[in-house]
Amino acid sequence: MANSLSAKKRARQAEDRRQRNASRRSMMRTYLKAVVNAIDSNDKPKAEAAYKTASPILDKSAQTGLISKNKAARHKSRLNAQIKAM
């Protein structure tokens, strides 16, 4: 356990950031799953709409450091390729 005031503050900040990141990561995954489920059900208009909402969320997650830029680009590229293959 933290003893000094500064260490206690850092522990509080770390916990706040952990919870915020967990929430944002969960939201991002939910939007990705919506795209994947639409692709699996062969509903191209629904998949395209879900992709349009998920794409900026991936970009924002990469911009804030939640995920890397390459991971965001990889997800977007693979999902877009699956949608175009429908």
**Cβ proximity of 79 and 51 under 8 Å:** yes
Query: Does the pLDDT value for residue 77 go beyond 80?
Result: yes
**If pLDDT is split at 50, 70 and 90, which confidence band does 3 have?**
confident
pLDDT at res. 36: 97
Whole-number mean pLDDT of the chain? Answer: 95
Domain boundaries along the sequence of the chain: 27-84
- pLDDT (tens digit per residue) in 25-35: 999 999 999 99
**Cβ proximity of 40 and 80 under 8 Å:** no
Query: Does the pLDDT value for residue 41 go beyond 80?
Result: yes
Q: Which residues contact 86 (CB under 8 A, 6 or more apart)?
A: 39, 42, 44, 47
Angle, helix 44-63 to helix 5-40, in steps of 10 degrees: 160
Percent of the chain residues past pLDDT 70, beyond the cut: 100
**If pLDDT is split at 50, 70 and 90, which confidence band does 2 have?**
confident
